[in-house]
Chain A
Amino acid sequence: MYENKRLGLLFVLPFLLGVLGFKLFPFVMSFALSFTQYDIINPPVAIGLENYNELFNKDPLFRKSLGVTLLFVLFSVPLRVGFALFIAHVLNFKLRGINFFRSAFYLPSILGGSIAVAVLWRFIFSQNGLVNIVLIKLGMDPISWLADEHFALWTIVLLFTWQFGSAMVIFLAALQNVPQSLYEAAEIDGASKWQQFWRITVPLITPVIFFNLIMQTVHGFQEFNGPYAITEGGPLHSTYLLSLYIYDQTFKYFNLGYGAALSWVMFALVATLSGLSFWSSRYWVFYSGEKEPQR
């Protein structure tokens, strides 16, 4: 029965229609729209590369937003993935209460995207909020976290890092698959814990590190709820991520063509970064079953 090709195609049909109608068609359409001027009321007018010309050469806000986005991704993704690996490593031990800790660390990652948590963040980093109360108790000066352009982005980075749980459980599952015998052998040879971590653990879980890095980078570029609800892109556009700029251009100012061009720049960025990681993965990602790294 499982060889019945028509039956298989029938079951996969919803996905085929869905991916064509809701993913690929919009994908192509957005590309086409990026070469037009379109305000939703009048029909789109083809203007060639004008949108791209404008955003690369004449739009300082785009440059600002791009810089903020890159800074954000550059810090928040390694922080999240690194922290996830670190905590997974600490958890990967016959400890009592490991399930409790696992759930506790996982919780922020599923609540973190909500507006309610954005409210919480806005509140604990406000002028009289929890963080400043603690700073004052410690004898330090309070900081205007959300009103100072040098600090606001870091509160968003922190919010992103705080949600390391989903990457952590993936790491934990991978760590539990590393054969214990390898550590025992290394122990006998006198390898320190530190050496064991870098020489055994890390090489064996490179596929999972790779997976998490790519997925979290995609997430990082799409971060929206946090900056939208906490800082609204401010102060002085210091948290104005590309996703916010795309949203504003598209759904606030109705420069649909320009918004599409912006989103394609973001796509090109994500695709380039993923491509680079895939290319570099030949040199540092090892899948089990391979005798030696591919060249």
Chain B
Amino acid sequence: MNAILASERVASEHEALITLRRERINATLRYAVLFTVGLVMLYPLVWLVGASFKSNTEIFTEMGFWPSQFDFSAYVKGWKTSTEYTFATYFLNSFLIIIPRIIVTVISCVLVAYAFARFEFWGKKILFSIMVGTMMLPLIILRLPQYLMFKEFGWLDSYLPLIVPSAFATDTFFVFMLVQFLRGIPRDMEEAAQIDGCNALQLLWHIIVPLLKPAIISVVVFQFIWTMNDFMGPLIYLSTVEKYPVSLALKMSIGATEEVQWASVIAISVVALLPSVAVFFMAQRHFIEGAASSGIKG
């Protein structure tokens, strides 16, 4: 009797050992995959930063990212540009587009998401389907008519075409994300506040907005980075170099001459990526979760 029990115990211990070993191998394998993929993916970015300090000849011969000598002249030269403006102008322009756009996006999208998630109104279902449908619409179809409209309004060569549509919650991805988020929040607090005599706007401001904060941060971060990256919009609407944002100015610096001044172009590319990277790392926790939840249909 005892012998059987003992042998069973040995057997189960043996099994546990095998499972443990298998889990270790499993974990090691996973780490190996993650490290390899991560290295291949991020090395170009790391190398870009290193290359921005290298001399022009070293860039094209060394695969290591550490420069043999730190050389800041590429930054100085790139910043000055070959135009009459420096990148200070172009960065300022980018922010002149980004900041108002973020503000109007957040206000309009929160309002609309609030309506969709909480209120009953005529045509809600159809309108919601239209919203999801426009997320699948290739925007390039709309570019030409929008251009003609803004031409009629006399808005060409200004930032208005890049900002005003966002004030009407046309960035439907954000509305969708906020609606998904709001649907997951129970209504208890709102009901309590309602009994205390809050009206809809007070409710929105005092209850909904604080609860929505993580989702709103996602909206801000995404809109910041996407507007920073946006190239086609400014390309179509802006014609004066003085008004160019960073993306257009950067393209200009590689398109202007056949012989690209790689060292300075690379240095400026690094600078151009910095704001987005900074915003990303500041808010990554919140907004990766927000981005993930947008894919789950509620």
Q: What is the interface of chain A, defined by CB distance below 8 A to chain B?
A: 1-9, 11-12, 14-19, 21-27, 29-30, 33, 40, 87, 90-91, 93, 95, 99, 101-108, 110-111, 113-117, 119-120, 122-124, 128-130, 133-134, 137, 162, 166, 169-170, 172-174, 177, 207-208, 211-212, 214-215, 218, 221-222, 224-225, 228-229, 243, 246-247, 250-251, 256, 259-260, 263-264, 266-267, 270, 274
Contact = CB atoms under 8 A, between A and B. Distances in A.
Contact of B63 (A15, A16, A137): A137
A208 B296 CA distance: 7
Interface string B163-186: 001011110000100000000000
Contact of B141 (A91, A102, A114, A267): A267
A170 B291 contact: yes
Contacts of A110: 222, 225, 276, 280
Contact of A120 (B37, B44, B236, B280): B44
A18 B170 contact: yes
A3 B272 contact: no
B291 to A, nearest CB: 5
Given A14-B167, A123-B262, A170-B295, A260 B273 contact: no
The 4 A-B residue pairs with the shortest CB-CB distance in the complex, in nearest-first order: A18-B168, A8-B119, A170-B295, A26-B145
A267 B149 contact: no
Given A111-B276, A123-B266, A166-B291, A14 B143 contact: no
Interface in B142-159: 142-149
13 contacts: A8-B119, A15-B175, A19-B134, A22-B170, A113-B226, A115-B247, A128-B60, A133-B63, A170-B292, A211-B297, A215-B136, A247-B140, A251-B235
Given A87-B37, A95-B31, A133-B62, A170 B294 contact: yes
A119 B63 CA distance: 17
Contacts of A251: 147, 235-236
Interface stretch (B1-9, B69-77, B124-132): B124-132
B63 to A, nearest CB: 5
B139 to A, nearest CB: 7
A19 B121 contact: no
A9 B147 CA distance: 29
A114 B228 contact: yes
Contacts of A24: 130
B254 A113 contact: no
B122 to A, nearest CB: 6
Nearest to A263: B141
A93 B30 contact: yes
B265 to A, nearest CB: 6
B92 interface: no
Nearest to A132: B60
B247 A114 contact: yes
B231 interface: yes
Given A120-B44, A251-B236, A5 B225 contact: no
B269 interface: yes
Given A95-B31, A116-B269, A1 B145 contact: no
Name B's interface SS: helix
A14 B41 contact: no
B211 interface: no
Interface centre among B47, B277, B296 (most CB of A within 10 A): B296
A130 B30 CA distance: 27
Nearest to A94: B27
Nearest to B269: A116
A128 B288 CA distance: 36
A263 B140 CA distance: 7
A12 B292 contact: no
A215 B232 CA distance: 20
Contacts of A107: 42, 45, 277, 280
Interface string B2-41: 0000000000000000000000001100110110011001
A264 B289 CA distance: 35
B111 interface: yes
B115 interface: yes
A253 to B, nearest CB: 13
Contacts of A6: 121
B121 A5 contact: yes
Nearest to A270: B138
B38 A101 contact: yes
Nearest to B190: A2
Nearest to B230: A113
Nearest to A5: B121
A228 B254 CA distance: 12
